[in-house]
Structures are given as C-alpha cells and as structure tokens.
Amino acid sequence: MDLKYHKLFIHDHLNSRVFSESYTSDASEKGQLFIIFESLKTKIDQQPLIDQIIDEATTYFYEAQNSQTNDPELILEEVLQKINQLLPELNTSPKIKNWLANIDLAIGMIYEDNIYISSIGNINALLLHSNQFTTIISKNNEINLTKLFSDIISGQLDQGDVLIISTNSLFDYISKEKIKQLVKRYSPPSAVIKIKQLLETVPDFVTLNSLIIKKSNGLDAELKEEKINSETETSVQDISDSQKQTSNKQTKRGTNVPRTKWVIDLKAFKNVNFLKKFQGLVSSTKLFFVIIKKVVVFIWQRVKDGFLFLASNQYRHKKEVKTIDRITTTASRKYNWFSRLNLKKKIALIGLLIIFLVFMQTLVFLTQKRSEKQKDVDYYNSIQEINIKFTEAESKLIYNDEQAAENLLLEINQIIEKLIIHSAEQQKEVDVIKDQVWQQLNKVRHIYVVPSPVEIFDLSSVLENAKQIVQKDNKFYILGNNQLYVLENDQLKALIDFADGKFLADWPNTNKLILGNNNQYFIFNIDSRQIETFNFSQTAGNTSVQDLAIYSNNLYVLDPQNNQIFKYPERGESFANGSAWLNETVDLSQANSLAIDGSIYIINNNGAITKFLKGEKDAFNYHEPHPIIGSDATIKTFKDSNYLYIIDPQYKRIIILDKDGQIKDQYTSIKFDNLNDLAIDPEEKAIYLLNNNHLYLLAINE
C-alpha cells in the first residue's frame, strides 16, 4: 500500500445521539475498501441494517476482485451498483420510516496512490495540497432513490497530500487550521492521537467518525510506538472499560453514577426544526422590511426631488445656482493655484502634463500591441496543439483504434470553437482545418463524403420553400408552402394552389397523391387535377397526424398523441372509417416518421428504430450508426424494396440499411445543409434528395 491511513472513531453508543460505524477491509492487490456510516438514532436497532450493507459491499468487493476487471473504479462502480439496489429495499422497512433521508454514507477504495469515493448525505472530504484545504465532497441533501450513488470522485495523491473523509462533527470542535497543522506534521496514526488529545473535553454525546489518508513524504513526525499501540487499544476498549467501571460503581453504591458530567449542548438547538424555521422566518421578515424601507426612502427622495425640480422655479434655480457655484469655485481654485506659480514651475508643470499624456498614449499603444501579440501567441499555440492531435489521430488509425482517433478529432473541434481569429489569413487557415477534421471524422465513422453531388434542378427560381417530394412515372411532384409543383422534362410547373402545405404522399398503383395542411387532408387526382377532401381526424380516436403512408391501398396514419397507428381501408375513390392498428400498448410520443413494406418501421426523435408486424412489435436488431441518428430523422421504404433509407439532417447524412439491419452505405456532403426529403428510384439505383430548394442525385453503390 503506497498510502498510509488511520481511522479517528470516537463513539459512545449509550450516550451518543447518532448511530455510527467505520469499516476498512483487508488490503489486496486490487485495493482496499472503506465505509463510513452515520445516522440519527431511532428506537429501532440499526446495527443489522449497517451490518447488511457492509456484508453486501464486502462480498461484492471480493467477487469483483476475482473477476477479470483490473480497473479499481470499475470495481467500485460494481459495489455501488449493488448498494444502490440494496438501500431502497432497506428504506421501505416499516420499522424505520424515511431512513435514507437521515443517513450519511461514504464508500470508497484505496489503490496504490489513488483514492476513489462516492457518498450521500452529510459527508465531507477535504484535500490538503500545497498547504491549502480544498473541499472535494460537501453536504448533499438530495436523495435519488433510483440511483443513490451517482458519481465517483477519484484522484491521485502527491507526496505530502492528505485526504480527510469525515462527518461534520470533527470540524465543529477543531478548526481546519489546527487539523491542517497536525496532519501535515504527523503520520496518520500519530495525527489521530494528537487530535484525540484535543478532543478529551468533548461531551460523550458527540461522535467523531473520520478517515485520514496521507501520501508520506518521509518527513512525517512519529510518536513512540508504545504510545500508538496504547492509544489504539484504548480507542477500541474505552467504551467497554467505561461500562465496566460504571457497572462496578453502581453495584457498590447501589445508585446510578453518571460516567461523565452533565453538559448542555447549546449547538443542539440549531438542529431543532421548529427553531430553525422560526429563526429563518424572523430573519427573512427583518431583511424584507429593511429592504422595503430603503426602497421607499430612495423612491420618495427621488420623486420629491423630481417633483420640486419640475414644479418649483425657486428649487430649480437653487439647484442650478448650486451646481454652477460648485463648478466655478473648483475652477477658480485651480486657476488661482496655477496663477500663483512662478514661470519655471508653470513651464515644468505644463511639460510634466505633456510628458504624462505622451506616456499614457505610449502605454495604451504598448498594451494594445502586447495584447495583440499575446492573442497571436495563443492562436499559434492552439494551431500547434491541433497539429499534434492530428498526428496522434493518424497514429491511432494505423493501429485501427478508430474510437481513440475520433475522440482526438472531436477534441480538435472543441479547440477550434474556442479559437479567437484576428485576420483573414487566420480565418482561411481555420477553414482548411475545419474541412480536414470533417473529412477525417467521416472517414473514421465510415461515412462517404460526396464532394459535389449532382444537381438535377435548382428550384429556388420558382419555389420559396420546398418541403416534400414524390417520384411517380418519371416525374417529380414537389410540395411548397402554397402550391403543388411538377418537375417534368427539366421544367417546373405549378399544378394547384395549396396553402400551408405540410404532407405529400404517394398512392401507389393509382394516379393520385395525398395532400395535407392544417389538419385537412385531400386526394389529388393527377389526371383531372382535382382535389377531394376526406376526414379521418375524428374517427377511431385519431386526433393528430405526424406522418402517413399508403400500402396495398390502405392508408396508415402515425398519431404520437394517442401512441397509435390508425389504418383506413380503401373505399372507392377514398378511404373508409379507420381503426387502431396496434394491438399492444407502445410509447410513440417521440415518433417522427413511418415507412411501410408490409412491416411498419417507425423512427423516433432519439434515432431509435422500431419494427411492427401485424399490429405488434417485431424484432429488429439493426446496426446502430455512429454517431447515433439525430433528431427529426425521416425513414423511407416501399414494397419490394431491399433497403431502409434514413434522412439524418442533424448530421447531414443519408443512411441506407438493409432489411436485416446492417449498414449498407452512409453519405454526407458539405452541401447537405438542410435535408428535407428524398425519393427513391423504383430500381433502387439512385436517391433523389431535396435539400433546401435544390434537387440532388445520389447513385446507390451496388
């Protein structure tokens, strides 16, 4: 063990107001476990509860050591996970209500020069480094029953560093400065003896539970070994010996003889909830009235001055005269002082003034120049750091460590975001670096970068905001804000006016389209260019529409508000009343898009894809892309299609999955700055991308 430690544990279980326990396991190759526990006393014996906690933690600690895990932090995480499962069960005991709210518990590990610790409740951890105490852990009253131990704090102690893990009572009776002097001078066992000497007059009801850990620098003072052993034996047996003496006195005298004198603990009144609340109420009330008084006086004075200034000529004249007199008096005094000077002094004073002004101007100039120079130094240091990380990333790729390379590239992005650019040349340099990082990141993530996608048509000359696209019979139907357009033979024409358009869907095997806007939905006959309204918003409980699609002449509507997919069968030239398609309860509140090929695929705003078949969930273990799919993604497919096509606007990419969930291809381009929709060639040899008001063509690799 590279660190030295010693427990400071003073506890009279008869007179103490709290229940307390301190535990350290045997040292092993993978570290040593320690536990500090304290809770308010109740009428129920809490010893079985803490024994169970220690037994469970120790058992799991040794089990984790026998595993292949060598990381002490992972071992402690496994122990804490076990305790996170155990504590809520103990908290539900009918014997002690709300037990967790009144406990202070720290669990940690010592491994070589490293400390790992997690805590709940009123536990303090102070680090003495460079003669300064730093608070590592402080009081935490928030209890999360789902995960009590949420964070692990870890670190390495340097020579001379001391870590004190303790309940609050230690710092109530000894100042931090005194503790610092002792632990800095003495080894942990000797420091504990010195601290106990200072605590001899502390009342019996006070419990002190601390662990002192130190990385010795070889200069620690040590008390004599006999005194340390004697003190250790006394600390273990002091309670039992005291009890025996008390029992003997009671037997001899036949009366109850207190072991110590009566002490009134005035500080205990601070823990009385009623008094604390009353004191807080009084203080808040007093502060409130003091603030109100100051505000009222300030406002009254300003209102009074303003009113008098506007309403009273005499008051206004008096104020003006007073201000002019003050300025005149000051100016006259300065002028008279200067006039009384002889010629040499006047010349010297004017010369000093000129020198001062020149000096100040020079100082400002030098400060600006130094500031600009420092900014340039910071910039070039950042560029140098970026180049080093680029080299490290390339080295990681040589050994196929793609995750490490990606982390380094992301760190470069963070450095770039913090860069302060001062010239056009620097801006050009940074732009080149950004492009290099972007290219390299996509390479690591196996995303193919399309340098310059083929543009089929620039829609911006006609449309203001293209939203959705359908390819049908070698034509493209495009929905804008206020019209439906058709792109045919390189000509874009308006078909019909359609205000506030939101939905455009194909009706396969017919010459019709589905349109939607503001909760109104229409069937558009391409041949006659006529639209017919139909209403499904009030049938079958369907109240919202996030997306819709037609399969086998049935209309399927995604309704996130009702966590349901509604099916509307064909009826003549329209659709009949619908019914709920899902046969089980599913959370679709985050669903964003659906696609149908016989099965229904739904993609959520968190990027998760769910597959349904015959109204029930169907297993779909797809290969999750990296990075994960972003929000507002759209999924597309069609009958007899071999693939799922996903638009991921957050990461400017198109993802192609086969129906087994494997990634076929990923595409990105610097021009994919606002991906709206896509259409798929029936033979699945090309993708038509709608990005802003541009229509691009992507060839699908065979």
pLDDT at residue 592 is higher than 60: yes
What's the CA gap between 117 and 119, in Å, rounded? 7
What's the CA gap between 204 and 653, in Å, rounded? 70
Of the CA atoms within 13 Å of residue 4, those in its CB half-sphere come to 19
Q: Which residues contact 119 (CB under 8 A, 6 or more apart)?
A: 104, 105, 106, 107, 125, 137, 140, 149
| Range name among 97-106, 234-243, 605-614, 682-691 with the lowest pLDDT average | 234-243
What average pLDDT score do residues 665-690 get?
A: 93
What average pLDDT score do residues 562-576 get?
A: 90
What average pLDDT score do residues 580-595 get?
A: 94
What average pLDDT score do residues 172-182 get?
A: 87
Please indicate whether residue 1 or residue 680 has the higher confidence score (pLDDT). Answer: 680
Give the pLDDT confidence of 78-115 residue by residue, as tens digits.
888 888 888 877 766 555 666 777 788 899 989 888 89
pLDDT at residue 272 in the model: 60
pLDDT at residue 687 is higher than 90: yes
Torsion sign over Cα 167, 168, 174, 176: positive
pTM: 0.50
Residue 121 DSSP class: B
H-type alpha helices, 419-492: 424-444
Give the pLDDT confidence of 187-214 residue by residue, as tens digits.
889 889 988 888 888 888 888 999 999 8
Q: Do residues 573 and 561 lie in contact, with contact meaning Cβ atoms separated by under 8 Å?
A: no
The correct CATH number of 4-244 out of 3.90.870.10, 3.60.40.10, 3.20.20.100, 3.10.20.30 is 3.60.40.10
Exposed / middle / buried, residue 493 (Cβ in 10 Å: 0-12, 13-18, 19+): exposed
**DSSP annotation string for 37-64:** EEEE--SS--HHHHHHHHHHHHHHHHHH
What average pLDDT score do residues 250-262 get?
A: 40
pLDDT at residue 316 is higher than 90: no
Percent of the chain whose pLDDT exceeds 70: 89
pLDDT at residue 244 in the model: 41
pLDDT at residue 260 in the model: 43
Banded model confidence at residue 496, pLDDT cuts 50, 70, 90: very high
| CATH superfamily, domain at 454-699 | TolB, C-terminal domain (2.120.10.30)
Highest mean pLDDT among 42-46, 489-493, 590-594: 590-594
Taking each helix axis from N to C end, the angle separating 72-91 and 47-66, rounded to the nearest 10 degrees, works out to: 150
What are the DSSP E strand ranges found in 509-590? 512-517, 520-525, 530-534, 547-551, 554-559, 564-568, 570-571, 574-575, 579-580
Single-letter amino acid, residue 605: N
pLDDT at residue 523 in the model: 93
pLDDT at residue 246 in the model: 38
- Mean pLDDT over all residues of the chain? 84
With tokens 């709920």, the residue in question is 580
pLDDT at residue 657 in the model: 95
Own/partner pairs, 530-535, CB within 8 angstroms, 24+ separation: 531/496, 531/498, 532/573, 532/574, 534/574, 534/575
Q: In 3D, which of 609, 614, 585 has the Cα closest to residue 598?
A: 614
pLDDT at residue 445 is higher than 70: yes
pLDDT at residue 593 in the model: 95
What's the CA gap between 311 and 315, in Å, rounded? 8
Q: Do residues 77 and 36 lie in contact, with contact meaning Cβ atoms separated by under 8 Å?
A: no
Please indicate whether residue 499 or residue 249 has the higher confidence score (pLDDT). Answer: 499
Residue 601 DSSP class: E
Phi, psi angles (nearest 5°) of residue 553: 65, 15
Phi, psi angles (nearest 5°) of residue 70: -110, -10
The residues that bridge with 517 in the sheet, in sequence order, are 520
Give the pLDDT confidence of 261-287 residue by residue, as tens digits.
455 555 555 556 667 678 778 888 888
The order of strands in the sheet holding 454-458 is: 454-458, 694-699, 686-691, 675-680
Alpha carbon separation from 284 to 272, 274, 276, 295 (Å, rounded): 18, 15, 12, 16
Q: In 3D, which of 616, 594, 612, 614 has the Cα closest to residue 548?
A: 594
pLDDT at residue 245 in the model: 43
Q: Which residues contact 131 (CB under 8 A, 6 or more apart)?
A: 180, 184
pLDDT at residue 345 is higher than 50: yes
pLDDT at residue 255 in the model: 38
Domain parsing of the chain, residue ranges? 4-244, 271-323, 359-444, 454-699
| Range name among 248-252, 374-378, 569-573, 623-627 with the lowest pLDDT average | 248-252
Q: In 3D, which of 482, 524, 480 has the Cα closest to residue 506?
A: 524
Please indicate whether residue 702 or residue 603 has the higher confidence score (pLDDT). Answer: 603
What average pLDDT score do residues 462-482 get?
A: 90
Q: Do residues 598 and 551 lie in contact, with contact meaning Cβ atoms separated by under 8 Å?
A: yes
Residues of 376-401 as b/e, b for ≥16 C-beta within 10 angstroms?
A: eeebeebbeebeebbebbeebbeeee
H-type alpha helices, 399-446: 402-418, 424-444
Q: Which residues contact 463 (CB under 8 A, 6 or more apart)?
A: 478, 480, 485, 492, 693
Please indicate whether residue 565 or residue 157 has the higher confidence score (pLDDT). Answer: 565
